[in-house]
Amino acid sequence: MNYSKGELLYEGKAKRVYSVVDQNDVVWLEFKDSLTAFNAEKKAELDDKGPINRNIATYIFKYLADKDIGSHWLESPGERDMVCRKVEIIPLEVVVRNTLAGSTAKKFAIEEGTALEEPLVEFYYKKDELGDPFISDDQIIALKICDNKVVLDELKKRALRVNTELKALFAKANINLIDFKLEFGTLPNGDIVLSDEISPDSCRLWDMDSNEKMDKDRFRRDLGGVKEAYMNVYNRLLDVKSQ
C-alpha cells in the first residue's frame, strides 16, 4: 500500500503523529531522536535513536504478528516512520515484570534483580499531569477507564502472552527481559490491539551474562553508552532472525 504523510496531529515525547492523506483509518508515526525520563524532567537528543527504536519496534510487532498477536502496526515506510491503524488509546500503561527493578523494587525496598516466581502485571493511569500514578483493578473499573472487568482481564491475559513471546525472543538474543510497558488501543470496530511501541525506551533489558543494562535506564541513571546499547539490542535481534 502506498501511504503519504499528511498533517501533524499530535507531538508526544518520543513520536510525532501525522494523518495519512485520504486514509482516515490510519496514522503515520515518526520516531523522534528525543529521549526523556521522569515525566520529561530529564531530556536529551540522541542521534539516530528514532530510527533504531523504529527498527526494534517494527521487528517486535512483526514477530508478535507471526505469533498471532495483533497490533496497530501496518508498515514501516521511511527510516523513522511507521504507518499504523488508528486506535483510541486506552489510558493505561500495562507493566509486566519478570524481575523486580525500577519503581516497584524501590517502593517495597527489595533489591533490584530479584526474580519473581510468576510475572506480575501492574496498571498505571496514563496521565502526564499526574505523573502516571499506579491504579488498582477496582479503581480502573470504578473510574470507567476500562469498559468492564472482562476487558481488563483480557488486557492482562494479552500482556502475559506478549511477555511469554518476548521473554523467549530476548533470551535467544542473550538478553533478560526484566520488565516492560505496553499500551493498548481500540479500533473503530471495537477490537483491542497492542499499540504505541515496544523498544529499549519501554523495556528493561539486561545482558544475560553480565547483567549490563541495555535500555533507557542507561539514560535515566547517567550510565552512558545509550545509543551503543540500543544498537546492540537491535543487532542481537537481527542475529536471532538469521539463526
* Interface residues toward ligand TMP, by CB under 6 A: 95, 102-104, 132, 179-181, 202-204
CB of 16 vs ligand ASP, minimal distance in Å = 15
Nearer to ligand TMP (CB atom), residue 28 or residue 219: 219
Q: Which of these ranges, 38-46, 76-84, 109-117, 139-147, lies near ligand ASP under the rule CB under 6 A?
A: 38-46
Please give the residues from 40 up to 79 whose contact with ligand ASP meets the rule CB under 6 A: 40
| C-alpha distance across the termini of the chain, in Å | 30
Query: Which residue in the shown chain puts its C-beta closest to ligand TMP?
Result: 102
User: Which of the listed partners (ligand ASP, ligand TMP, none) does 34 bind, with a CB threshold of 5 to 8 Å by partner kind?
Assistant: none
Q: Helix, strand, or coil here: 55?
A: helix
**Counting contacts by CB under 6 A, is residue 13 touching ligand ASP?**
yes
Its sign, for the CA torsion 207, 210, 216, 217, is positive
146-162 exposure pattern, b = at least 16 Cβ within 10 A, e = fewer: beeeebbeebeebbeeb
Answer whether 125's CB lies under 8 Å from 91's CB.
yes
Helix (H), strand (E) at residue 118: strand 114-125
User: Which of the listed partners (ligand TMP, ligand ASP, none) does 71 bind, with a CB threshold of 5 to 8 Å by partner kind?
Assistant: none
Question: 114-125 and 92-100 as β-strands: parallel, antiparallel, unpaired?
Answer: antiparallel
Nearer to ligand ASP (CB atom), residue 77 or residue 225: 225
Nearer to ligand TMP (CB atom), residue 123 or residue 180: 180
